[in-house]
Each structure stands twice: as structure tokens, then as C-alpha cells.
Structure 1
Amino acid sequence: MKLVYVFDAYCGWSHGFSGTLREVVSRHPGLPVEVISGGLFTGERRVPMSSFSFIEEANTHISQLTGARFGEGYQRLAAEGSFVMDSEAAARGVAALRKTAPDRSAELALALQHAFYVDGHSLSDPATYRQVAETAGLDADLVLAAFQASETKEAAEADFRRTAELGVTAFPTLLAVDGERTVPLARGHATADEVAHRLAPLGITPTS
């Protein structure tokens, strides 16, 4: 049994789910978590933030519902409006971090979301991955080399295909996967207690 977390690093609702994911992982330290990038802003959806008129209202709703914070760095980026959210680049970053520290994938995915939604750092910028890696105590040179490697682009594309194969169409989605069996635990929003309630029938109970 493992958890599969399908998210997008540029998804506000995924940022809002950060607290729930952190708590779920804390309660189930022995339960593996696979992190997959969904590819929200790819192709024709890679446009300036100003093109998404709903962002401010959506973020207010996310904050009210989840308590997630959207920091000053991000607010300045959103207000200026020219920044382009590129989910392919972000997925390469997730893959690079995942390759470097596979057992910390969930923690590092949350760190990436903090880098964008709180600090306002671009997830296309190698400097962001150096900072995340150094803060996490990882070898930053290894992370940057992985981020820029061609196989990491292939890993990002594989994530997008896996998302489709799992039938995931909204982010974030948290699944429990046991062999061929897949059980939805959260889609968009859920509390840690709600996730625990859905895990219980699967024989998964908190250990911390």
C-alpha cells in the first residue's frame, strides 16, 4: 500500500492542501508517498498570470477554507501579471528533487509550493532549486544537474501520462494504491481527519 499524490506545483488548491498532506504524512510515517506532477499549465495554458482573472478570488477562497498563506513575494508576482506558470518546468524540478531524495518527495513538493506561493520564486529558475535543495540539506549541484538533464524532461512527461492513466482530472488528488486497487482519498480539498477516515477501512491507521 502506498499513497499517490497527484498535484501541480503551480496549482493554488494544491498549495492549499499542503497542510493536510503534511499532517497525513506525519500520522503515517511508514506509508510510502509517490508524488506525481499533473501538468496544469502546459501547451496553450502557458500564458501570463494576468490572463487568469479568477486567481485572486480563488486564492482568497483557498485561504479561507484551508488557512494556506499566499506570501508577499507571490502577491507581487501576481499583481504585476507578466509571469508565466510553466508546469513542464515545475514537473522537471519535482522529478529532479524526487530523484535526489525519493523518500522525501512529499516534503520537497511542499517546499516547492512554498517557494512559489509564499516567496514568489519561479519554478523555471535553477536558482530556486538550489535554494530548496540547500534548505533541505541536499546536494544542490546534483539537484541542478538532474533538473537540466534530458531524462528529467522525460520523467515530467511520464508524470503527465501517469496522471491520465490514473484518471486524475483535478489537482490535488490523493489516492491509496495497493496493487491494482486504487482508492480516492481526497480531491481538491480534504482535512487530515477526513483522509484518516477513508484510510481506516483499508487497514491503515495513524502511527504517530
Structure 2
Amino acid sequence: MSVNKLIYVHDPMCSWCWGYKPTWQKLESALANILPIEYRIGGLAADSDQPMSADMQLQLQGIWKNISNQLGTEFNFNFWRECQPRRSTYPSCRAALIARSFNKEPQMIDAIQQAYYLKAQNPSDEDVLIKLCEKIGLDPCLFTQQLHSKELKRRFDDELNFVRSLPIQGFPSLVLIKNNSAYPIAINYTDWRQTLSEIQSYL
């Protein structure tokens, strides 16, 4: 028997996901007794040890300003002065996957977003992720072991392959699974009720 569900595709370091968060939380709450919700990691930027280029830094700061102007989202721009940015979100994605195993994925996502966007910390760095795992109650030694494990690499590869099979164009994205078919759901960044109405029209 097929199970209807809503898939939320995101990346913990996606700035538009951070901007969407207040609206998403209202939608998620409204769907609590209507439809199961499944989080999936999108994988925005692959592993890299190289410093982010100046052009990319300016581009991302411009996106932050745009989101803040459109949605009123808070950003701490000290990040760009106090950290060495890298175009690498895969480490934070893996951290979210580890937390999922302990039913703490939302807590890890929230900790990563708070660190990145409000506290000027860099979740591309492993030491930051280890501190965040402790903050949400995970064992740092076990977390570190899993972060470098072949099993986690396999799970992450499977996750990315699955996400790439979905009808999405970026992050965040919503996909409704009904009767083994996938339907893209339009995201309204400020009106959760509109998105809810679209979802309900399929049910």
C-alpha cells in the first residue's frame, strides 16, 4: 500500500531555507494531523577546502540582503568578516543525517542555521559541527566517528540520488507523494495557507 506524504527538500546552509523557516514551521504544524512529513537533504555545495572567492562572497551577501529585504529575515553579516567562508555545505548535510538516526534532525538543522546565520560561526568546519552535536545532546566521539564513516557516505549518496529523482528546481522544495506519483508543490514564502490549500487539493 502506498503512503501519501510530503517531502521537504532543503539544505541546512541554504539561505532561502532559512528565510522560509517561519512560514514552513506554520505549514508543518498545520499538516501535523493531515499528512506525514519527510525531511530530505538536497546537498547544495560539495566538499571543498578552498576559501570562497571574493566574487562568491559578495554574491551570497547580496542574496542574504535580498532575503532580509523581502522576508524580514535576520542575518548576522559579521560572518563574512569573522569566518573564512568555503563553498561547502556537504558537512552540515552529513551532520543532519547523523542526527536523523537519533531522531534529532530538526534540532541539528536549527542549531546549524542559528550558528551560521545569527552567531557568525561556520558549519562548513568540523569543529563547529561537533560543538553543535553536543549542544543537541549527541555524543561528540560517536558523532565524529560517524561523520567519517563509509556507512554515512553511502547514506548521503543515496539521499542525493533520491532527491535528484524528484521534480524540484532548487531549495527549499516541497514534493507531495500520492499513489506513488510525485507532485511539486509551489512554495509561498510568506503565506503558508496558500501552500496548504494546494496540498489539500491533491488529497
TM-score (norm 1): 0.79
Question: Distance in 1 between the 2:49 and 2:183 partners?
Answer: 30
Once the two structures are overlaid, the 10-residue window that deviates more, 131-140 or 153-162, is 131-140
Residue 124 of structure 1 and its aligned partner are, at CA, apart by 3.5
Residue 177 of structure 1 and its aligned partner are, at CA, apart by 1.5
Contact 1:96 1:143 in 2 (8 A): yes
Question: Higher helix share goes to which structure?
Answer: 1
Question: Distance in 2 between the 1:78 and 1:100 partners?
Answer: 32
**Paired AA for residue 116 in structure 2:** F
- Structure 1 stretches of 4+ with a deviation exceeding 6 A read 43-46
Query: Which residue of structure 1 lines up, in the alignment, with residue 24 of structure 2?
Result: 21
Alignment of 1:17-56 (within 5 A): 17-30=20-33, 31-42=35-46, 48=52, 50-52=54-56, 53-56=58-61
Q: Tell whether 2:35 aligns with 1:2.
A: no
**Paired AA for residue 11 in structure 2:** D
Question: Distance in 1 between the 2:126 and 2:82 partners?
Answer: 22
**Paired AA for residue 102 in structure 2:** T
Question: Distance in 2 between the 1:190 and 1:48 partners?
Answer: 31
Contact 2:82 2:120 in 1 (8 A): no
SS in 2 for 1:6: strand
Question: Distance in 1 between the 2:26 and 2:142 partners?
Answer: 29
Alignment of 1:40-189 (within 5 A): 40-42=44-46, 48=52, 50-52=54-56, 53-71=58-76, 75-79=77-81, 82-101=84-103, 104-187=104-187, 189=189
- CA distance 1:82–1:126, shift in 2 (3 Å): closer
Question: Distance in 1 between the 2:53 and 2:85 partners?
Answer: 6
Question: Distance in 2 between the 1:142 and 1:179 partners?
Answer: 38
Residue 37 of structure 1 and its aligned partner are, at CA, apart by 1.8
Once the two structures are overlaid, the 10-residue window that deviates more, 178-187 or 39-48, is 39-48
**Paired AA for residue 147 in structure 1:** L
SS in 2 for 1:183: strand
Once the two structures are overlaid, the 10-residue window that deviates more, 41-50 or 171-180, is 41-50
Contact 2:86 2:124 in 1 (8 A): no
TM-score (norm 2): 0.81
Question: Distance in 2 between the 1:46 and 1:27 partners?
Answer: 42
**Identity over aligned residues, as a percent?**
21
**Paired AA for residue 67 in structure 1:** G
* Superposed CA RMSD: 2.8
Question: Distance in 1 between the 2:98 and 2:54 partners?
Answer: 29
Query: Which one has a bigger Cα radius of gyration?
Result: 2
Question: Distance in 1 between the 2:188 and 2:110 partners?
Answer: 16
SS in 1 for 2:78: helix
Contact 2:49 2:86 in 1 (8 A): no
